[in-house]
Amino acid sequence: MSDLKQVWAIENLHLAWQRIRSNPDRAYKGYFRDAYTAYAIAGDAQLNHLQDRLRRGIYGPTDACKIYFPKPSGILRPYSLLCVEDQIVYQAIANVIAEKLAPHVKSKYEKEVFGHLYAGLKSPWFYKKWSEGYRAFNSASESTFNAGYVWTASFDLTAFYDSIDHHVLRQMLSRIGVTNDLIDFLTQCLTKWTATATQIYHNHGIPQGPLSSGLIAEVVLKHFDENHHINYKVTYLRYVDDIRLFAKQEKHLRYALVKLDRLSKDVGLFPQSSKIDIHQVVNIQDELKSISNPYEALFLMPSINQSALRKAISEITPGKRGYTVLNPTRFKFLVASATASNQLMDRLWRVFEHAPHYYPQIASHLSKFKVLSNKQADRLLLEIEAQELYPAVRAALINSAIGRIPSSHLARFKTIFKKLWQPKFHQPDLSNALWSWLQDQSGFTLAQQKYGLTKVQPDWLAASMHYRTRWLDIDEVSRTSLINTSLRSKSADVALAAAWIAAFLEISVKGSSIGLNPQAVILLKELGVVKRAGSFVCGIRKSIFEMTSADIPIDWRSIFGSNYKKAEAQIVSSKGYFQTSATAWVNSMDGFNDWLLDSLYRADPFLGSYKMGEVGSVMNSKKMRIKYPALYRYLNEIHDRRYLSHLSHAVVRANQKPTRAIKFEWLKTGSRLLRNATAELHRSGY
């Protein structure tokens, strides 16, 4: 069995779905809790449907929703929100690759490698506990120091996830025995999932956020694990892309760092030179970054002494030092353990003034208040208005304000938030936060509700907005219309949200079932809203839509009959060429046209007879030109281009000149001709 077939094996898809739901990263899962619930209601049927599309080659990844978080340095860290089905496919790929990678790396687990440790095929969790791995990482560092290795240096890679070159990844995957079909499929998906919000597509990077990316990163990092050795004794410890070196002499460290630098250049990565600090260790505890909860004596009491806790926070954020956080890990832990306190909130605002990257802790503490004091509400609104540079910070602060604003301040908050509501220009998480707060306060007119729910948005944002809408505040006619529009969305996540809402609010499905999102139909059937789940996805219709942006409802199965699967396979392969090679696309579409002509001539006796393989015989057909002029022009243009293509002949027969590649820009013309021909067939009753 090829590796790609293993990806779409139903057992693997079920395992992938299980591992996504057991993902310990609560932050990432928090963006999808409602979407996961909607998908899980008919999970078995949805996975069977996904498998069918993967097997037929008509599954296509969608663009990720990108949000950006501020780093302590002030620059941004990208975060990729994949639609639910893309997460499942990505995890299914990672499951197969993990089994290929494991024999090459397991011997180094908790000896040299401590992060993203694969838990094994039988485990419902993808990785072993990260906290245990990091604890082992620190323990190994301490043991090495106690053995006399008192010189140390860290080696970090700059923007590691974003910088992984897909050509390098292909080589690394091939070395561990992954077959080319899976490698091709993965890199095609990564091109979609790493694109920017402006849909600029790269050939590098893996998405930050999804569970699967850690394992894919390990495939590249294996290059460092296998080749870091030098002639001197240097201890090498790695947790993800954070490599820590220990040696007995400074000179030995320098040799090791140069070796790592060369290895990074091998794979097109770049070290963070500013973080490479060669020094002699005085106190090993000062070197270690404890991710497990730090020991605090005050927590040994039966109940936490909040006064002592606030005092401890004050000690590590001294006013004399400008409220600088002296121990970030301890600070985060203590704040997370604190109960709502105006006194503590005042200090946290002072910390926030110079270190906005602590916004998750500030927002989290604000969320502990039932109702904010007037003073805290004033400060919160001031900070929200001021946060123009970092939309993620503004989003977190707005979310913390939902249901906690004193009544005396509601009108002012609503006025400011309505001015900020500009989804066309804002980062998706900010738009989602504003939508949620204003929905809670019934802050939208019906026209604004319709605009927000029907405007083209990133899939994640559109789906999330559906779950957060106060549907009962919308009149029944408008509510039914909006939900029925969303049931026909091309986005599965949006359509599933609409189906879930339709079922629980007893909103009837109006009009023809043609055009309903197939995955929404599966959910509607499970919930008893519709009796039959006619959820077949036509690969021909889908492929034409992806190549022309025109969704034309032709019953292609009826046209092709017993030859449908062959015609579908032909055009699905053509769709792939549409993104990469105009020449190959023309040749492949000429093959699809052969199947089309065979079926069309049998369906329409007016045209006469046709013999498979003789597309050229139609080029001068008067009957075709009279009855199907748009189709006639499309067929002629494609066949003429094929005649001039170097993939068909060495020379042009008419003038004996060498054939050549078709220019990529001609695909715009080809797409338009295909769209017009398909629309003509639809008008003719097909």
- Give the closest residue to 186 by CA, choosing from 221, 158, 220: 220
- Find the mean pLDDT for residues 31-54: 93
According to the per-residue pLDDT averaged within each range, which of 175-189, 448-462, 525-539, 574-588 is highest? 175-189
CA-angle at 289, arms to 332 and 298, nearest 5°: 50
Question: Residue 292 has what pLDDT?
Answer: 44
Asked whether the beta carbons of 137 and 237 are under 8 A apart, the reply is: yes
Q: pLDDT for 655-669, tens place per residue?
A: 777 878 888 889 999
For β-strands 279-280 and 234-239, DSSP reports them as unpaired
Question: Residue 288 has what pLDDT?
Answer: 77
Two structure tokens written together for 561: 């009959």
Question: Residue 430 has what pLDDT?
Answer: 96
Asked whether the beta carbons of 659 and 644 are under 8 A apart, the reply is: yes
Task: Decide: helix, strand or coil at residue 422.
Answer: coil
Statement: residue 138 has pLDDT above 80: yes
Q: What is the CA radius of gyration of the chain?
A: 29
DSSP 244: E
Q: pLDDT for 236-255, tens place per residue?
A: 999 999 999 999 999 999 99
Question: Residue 104 has what pLDDT?
Answer: 96
> Where is average pLDDT lowest: 80-84, 199-203, 333-337?
199-203
Question: Residue 253 has what pLDDT?
Answer: 95
Asked whether the beta carbons of 543 and 58 are under 8 A apart, the reply is: yes
Question: Residue 532 has what pLDDT?
Answer: 66
Question: Residue 295 has what pLDDT?
Answer: 44
Q: How far apart are CA 470 and CA 442, in angstroms?
A: 8
Asked whether the beta carbons of 153 and 243 are under 8 A apart, the reply is: no
Statement: residue 11 has pLDDT above 60: yes
Q: How far apart are CA 663 and CA 686, in angstroms?
A: 32
Q: pLDDT for 431-453, tens place per residue?
A: 999 999 999 999 999 999 999 99
Question: Residue 68 has what pLDDT?
Answer: 93
Question: Residue 661 has what pLDDT?
Answer: 86
Band of pLDDT at residue 198, cut at 50, 70 and 90: low
Sequence spans of domains, the chain: 3-286, 300-487, 539-684
Statement: residue 299 has pLDDT above 80: no
Share of the chain above pLDDT 90, in %: 67
According to the per-residue pLDDT averaged within each range, which of 450-454, 462-466, 523-527 is highest? 462-466
Higher-scoring residue by pLDDT: 403, 515: 403
- Find the mean pLDDT for residues 395-417: 95
DSSP 234: E
Band of pLDDT at residue 231, cut at 50, 70 and 90: very high
Q: pLDDT for 360-391, tens place per residue?
A: 999 999 999 999 999 999 999 999 999 888 99
3-state secondary structure labels for all residues of 42-91: CHHHHHHHHHHHHHHCCCCCCCCEEEEEECCCCCEEEEEECCHHHHHHHH
- Find the mean pLDDT for residues 165-184: 96
Question: Residue 290 has what pLDDT?
Answer: 45
Question: Residue 535 has what pLDDT?
Answer: 61
Residue given tokens 């663009």 in the structure block: 63
Any long-range contacts for 206-209 (C-beta under 8 Å, 24+ apart)? 206/161, 206/164, 206/169, 207/64, 207/80, 207/82, 207/161, 208/77, 208/78, 208/79, 208/80, 208/161, 208/162, 209/28, 209/79, 209/80, 209/81, 209/82
Task: Decide: helix, strand or coil at residue 361.
Answer: helix
3-state secondary structure labels for all residues of 13-47: HHHHHHHHHCCCCHHHHHCCHHHHHHHHHCHHHHH
Question: Residue 212 has what pLDDT?
Answer: 97
Asked whether the beta carbons of 525 and 538 are under 8 A apart, the reply is: no
Statement: residue 294 has pLDDT above 50: no
Q: How far apart are CA 397 and CA 328, in angstroms?
A: 20
Q: What's the pTM value of the predicted model, to 2 decimals?
A: 0.86
> Where is average pLDDT lowest: 203-212, 298-307, 615-624, 641-650?
298-307
Report the amino acid identity of residue 450. Answer: K
Statement: residue 146 has pLDDT above 50: yes
Asked whether the beta carbons of 399 and 363 are under 8 A apart, the reply is: yes
Higher-scoring residue by pLDDT: 28, 686: 28
> Where is average pLDDT lowest: 141-145, 360-364, 597-601, 649-653?
649-653
Two structure tokens written together for 512: 């023809």
- The angle that helices 342-354 and 374-386 make with each other, rounded to 10 degrees, is 20
What is the full DSSP assignment across 520-550?
HHHHHHHTTS-S-------HHHHHHHHHHS-
Q: How far apart are CA 499 and CA 483, in angstroms?
A: 8
Statement: residue 293 has pLDDT above 50: no
Question: Residue 291 has what pLDDT?
Answer: 44
Question: Residue 230 has what pLDDT?
Answer: 93
Other residues' Cβ atoms within 10 Å of the Cβ of residue 122? 6
Question: Residue 351 has what pLDDT?
Answer: 95
The rounded mean pLDDT for the chain is 90
- Find the mean pLDDT for residues 196-215: 86
Q: How far apart are CA 140 and CA 235, in angstroms?
A: 10
Task: Decide: helix, strand or coil at residue 319.
Answer: helix
Statement: residue 221 has pLDDT above 70: yes
